Chain A
Amino acid sequence: MSTPLSRLPEADELRVSTTRDLLDLGFGEALATVDAPSMTVVPQIKLPGHTEAFEGVARGTRPSSTY
């Protein structure tokens, strides 16, 4: 079941996903995947704290640094 974006507090980190039409969104104490056309949240990943930065990578690759 999708979640409206208005239900996500402290959303302030956004990346274009490696998958078409998806965005990776950091909010509260979780990461969410946003379906860009419908602006709804699909899955969420709970984290122990608020994300200040993150980077998405394609499967099998590893970033040389984070930002």
Chain B
Amino acid sequence: MAGEIVALDHPSCKSVATWRVAPDHADFSMALDEAAGRLYGVGHARRLQPASPVFMWVATAGLHLRRAPGRAGAILHSKARSRSEGSALYAPPQIERRYGHGDDRHRHADAGMLPPVNVHAAALGRIDDDDVGDATDDE
């Protein structure tokens, strides 16, 4: 959906959260492996095509995830565990290079990439709003 990402509760279909996304929205997809307790996601920003690198995250169920604004949101990791233990996100270096140069459009596109993870995790009751914020103390 251009402009917004809406999280819907299942099965009531009631909107539980909405995130604004830049017009150059990100295409993304998520897949929940219930047996393994993992949430996977993949996506890219339109503005970065055709050279856009893929980014992909893996959120282990039960982890508290939060974004790292200092890294333009490309990194998710667990609150309580080390990055190696949490393995919350696979983010190739190209992502950080592309989002780290101060272009507002890219920042907006990036902002559109992360919320789906948080939305989905929130819908599952596995993330708190307080966990979405500064993560620099864990770096």
| B31 within 8 A of partner (CB) | yes
**B39-74 at interface with A (beta carbon < 8 Å):** 40-44, 49-54, 56, 58
On whether the beta carbons of A14 and B27 are closer than 8 Å, the reply is no
On whether the beta carbons of B42 and A16 are closer than 8 Å, the reply is no
| A9 within 8 A of partner (CB) | yes
Assuming A6-B92, A11-B42, what are 9 further A-B pairs, CB within 8 angstroms? A5-B42, A5-B56, A8-B54, A9-B50, A9-B52, A12-B43, A13-B29, A14-B42, A15-B31
Number of interface residues of A (CB under 8 A): 20
Number of interface residues of B (CB under 8 A): 25
| A43 within 8 A of partner (CB) | no
On whether the beta carbons of B40 and A16 are closer than 8 Å, the reply is yes
On whether the beta carbons of A16 and B29 are closer than 8 Å, the reply is no
**B28 interface neighbour in A4, A12, A16, A39, Cβ under 8 Å:** A12
| B90 within 8 A of partner (CB) | yes
The CA of A21 and the CA of B37, in the complex, are separated in Å by 11
Chain A residues in the interface with B (C-beta under 8 A): 4-16, 21, 23, 25-27, 36, 39
B36 vs chain A, min Cβ distance (A) = 8
**A9 interface neighbour in B28, B33, B44, B58, Cβ under 8 Å:** B44
The CA of A65 and the CA of B92, in the complex, are separated in Å by 35
Kindly list chain B residues whose C-beta atoms are within 8 Å of the C-beta of A23.
Answer: 31, 40
On whether the beta carbons of B54 and A11 are closer than 8 Å, the reply is yes
